[in-house]
Amino acid sequence: MAENKIHKLALQKQERFSQPEITNSISISKLKGKRKAQPNTRKLINEILNGDITALSRAITLVESKNSKHIKKANAIIKACLPHANNSIRIGITGVPGVGKSTFIEAFGKHLTGLGKKVAVLAIDPSSTITKGSILGDKTRMEDLVKDKNAFIRPSATGNSLGGVARKTRETIMLCEAAGFDTIIIETVGVGQSETAVHSMVDFFLLLKLAGAGDELQGIKRGIIEMADAIVINKADGDNIKPAKLAKVEFSRALHLYPEKDSKWMPKVSICSAMQNEGVTDVWNMILEYETLTKQNEYFEFNRRKQNKFWLIQTIEEQLKSDFFNNSEIKKELKHQLHLIETKKTTPFSAAEYLLKL
């Protein structure tokens, strides 16, 4: 209660001095009588800070919108929420389809809400940029967790580029934290660059694997092993227990060959059965161990600052690209230049030079 009051006071102060766009959008929406369709920004911010899930969902929809008015509103909301974000542990989970990510996240999430945590599950789905689908779109996934009042599950944002989707996910993380979620799980499938994007927005990166027939290290990208803070071998149940234990030994041995991480954390390997809810607690304890170590040696904060700087550059790049390609003159000229390239009347380089100078 007291915390909510402080939130509100801080908010009022902020709005008075630095948020003219909020007042503007409120009066505009009043004038247009569109309050219901376009929620009042200030009200939305207050509700988010009070942990209202409906308001949080609405704000995320604004973040994901391409409409310029929505984007302006979303930016105002994020700005107001920012001082209340950051107080969380952000966990990235990756693995091939079928490895058991949603089964694991469900068991893991339930364990955490059982401990009194508030868990938000978001996703970065590279395939959604092509198919407009979503790995979390399937309503049957995480059925129990969906019903948990201390959990919030949001399907992946869609967009034309991984950079755009990643930016929206980062902003969604901020909103979830401002709404009081203290554990943020970002799920992704091991496709393309999505793991790198997720790795650059989380504190702890977990790779889910299956035990194979002694070929565990084959077909796994070196970069992913380097990023992983933990490798968890799932489906360690029934006949699979023995291969899972063997895989654990092999991965542990392999991880020792990698150079020490800046975090000074020695990546760990564990086995679990998400389906039978075994070994899930161990994963959480491992993450707590990581958090203690990296907060003590100050890597935790250092890494978040490093990530923020990285995302500043990424956001500028995204913005420049989107401004360029959405410019109507460029659109027209680009068509023309593409035609000239096809008819061999210009080269890609001189066409690019011409377009960039427009």
CB 148 within 8 A of CB 118: no
Q: For residues 58 and 110, which CB has a smaller minimum distance to ligand GDP in the complex?
A: 110
CB 186 within 8 A of CB 202: yes
**Taking the complex as a whole, how short is the minimal distance between the CB of residue 141 and ligand GDP, in angstroms?**
7
How far apart are alpha carbons 264 and 354 in whole angstroms? 49
**Taking the complex as a whole, how short is the minimal distance between the CB of residue 112 and ligand GDP, in angstroms?**
17
**Taking the complex as a whole, how short is the minimal distance between the CB of residue 118 and ligand GDP, in angstroms?**
22
**Taking the complex as a whole, how short is the minimal distance between the CB of residue 102 and ligand GDP, in angstroms?**
4
CA 306 to chain centre: 16
How far apart are alpha carbons 49 and 130 in whole angstroms? 34
CB 135 within 8 A of CB 158: no
Q: Which residues contribute to the site for ligand GDP (CB under 6 A)? A: 95, 97-103, 234-235, 237, 273-275
**Taking the complex as a whole, how short is the minimal distance between the CB of residue 322 and ligand GDP, in angstroms?**
31
CB 204 within 8 A of CB 92: yes
Enumerate long-range contacts of 198-202, CB under 8 Å, 24 or more apart: 198/92, 198/94, 198/124, 199/92, 199/227, 200/307, 200/310, 200/311, 201/90, 201/92, 201/166, 201/169, 201/170, 201/173, 201/307, 201/311, 202/90, 202/91, 202/92
Q: For residues 101 and 199, which CB has a smaller minimum distance to ligand GDP in the complex?
A: 101
Q: What are phi and psi of 153, to 5 degrees?
A: -115, 125
CB 27 within 8 A of CB 42: no
Q: For residues 29 and 103, which CB has a smaller minimum distance to ligand GDP in the complex?
A: 103
**Taking the complex as a whole, how short is the minimal distance between the CB of residue 100 and ligand GDP, in angstroms?**
3
Q: For residues 100 and 163, which CB has a smaller minimum distance to ligand GDP in the complex?
A: 100
Closest by CA position to 161, among listed 198, 121, 194, 118: 194
Q: For residues 98 and 219, which CB has a smaller minimum distance to ligand GDP in the complex?
A: 98
**Taking the complex as a whole, how short is the minimal distance between the CB of residue 272 and ligand GDP, in angstroms?**
7
Q: For residues 45 and 274, which CB has a smaller minimum distance to ligand GDP in the complex?
A: 274
Q: For residues 148 and 177, which CB has a smaller minimum distance to ligand GDP in the complex?
A: 148
Closest by CA position to 63, among listed 206, 142, 176, 198: 176
